[in-house]
Amino acid sequence: MAKDVMCEVNSCKYWANENKCNAKSIAIVSHHGSNQARNSEETDCRTFESKV
């Protein structure tokens, strides 16, 4: 399991100093609606929640 999860999206409510993610868990899905992806551009972070 990753010790530190890095995130550059500072508009997310889970973003913390030094580009760290402080969410208790992370959910990432494929754009294809399956469990297959060929690169990071074909994935989305479902954990994201806007600070606003």
- Which pLDDT score is estimated for 33? 76
Which residue did the predictor score with more confidence, 50 or 52?
50
- Which pLDDT score is estimated for 7? 95
pTM for this model (two decimals):
0.80
Task: Return the closest-CA partner of residue 21 out of 8, 34, 31.
Answer: 8
- Which pLDDT score is estimated for 48? 96
Residue 4 in this model has a pLDDT that exceeds 80? yes
Q: What is the pLDDT of residues 20-51, one digit of tens each?
A: 999 999 999 998 878 899 999 999 999 999 99
Task: Look up residue 51 and give its amino acid.
Answer: K
Domains of the chain by residue range: 1-26
- Phi, psi (5° rounding) for residue 24? -70, -30
